[in-house]
Amino acid sequence: MALIEFKRCPHCGKPTWQEFIPQAPPAASYWRCRDCGDRRDAKRIRVGNGALLNHGRLQTEHLCADVLIIDISRRGTRVCCDEDLPITVHMDQRVLFNPQLQPFGELAHYQPGFVRWIRDMEFGICFEHPLSLSTSDITRIVKN
């Protein structure tokens, strides 16, 4: 469970909820605002709106379901639940995620990770181990 405190954000200056991040450097602070900025340190690649391209597979201890991929990076992904088949996940829950973006290779297999954040129907998954593919390789796979 994340350590959370209500305080003034050093970046945007407004009082907001912030969470303690144990691996601060190269960041200026161990606290990160939940409202401002992009907290991800890896470049995200936005997935297109193609019907089959943006469907990934999520597996937990109790269910296996399709999710819509909004974006993906070497360190994680942002996904959205299908409105017709909503699923319930919790913060820090261990999951397996298969992007299904390749017929074979790293983006065709389940990646272990955990749920990092949840907002309505969207949530973020942080991979346990970053993908070995470079950002440009991921971009090429997604765009082709």
pLDDT tens for residues 5-39? 787 776 667 777 777 666 555 555 666 665 554 45
Which tokens hold the place of 82? 């299908």
Phi-psi region at 19: left, alpha or beta (left = phi > 0; alpha = psi -120 to 50): beta
CB–CB of 16/6 below 8 Å?
Answer: yes
81 three-state secondary structure: strand
For the chain, the helix, strand and coil percentages under 3-state DSSP, each to the nearest 5: 10, 40, 55
If you average pLDDT over residues 74-80, what whole number do you get? Answer: 90
Q: What is the pLDDT of residue 25?
A: 53
Lowest mean pLDDT among 33-37, 51-55, 67-71: 33-37
Average pLDDT, the chain: 79
pTM exceeds 0.85 for this model:
no
Contacting residues for 59 by C-beta, under 8 A, at least 6 apart: 95, 96, 97, 98, 110
Q: How far apart are CA 47 and CA 55, in angstroms?
A: 10
| pLDDT score, position 95 | 95
Domain 45-143 falls under CATH 2.40.10.220: yes
The whole-number average pLDDT for the span 51-61 is 79
**Percent with pLDDT over 90 in the chain:** 20
Each domain of the chain, given as residue ranges in start order, spans 4-33, 45-143
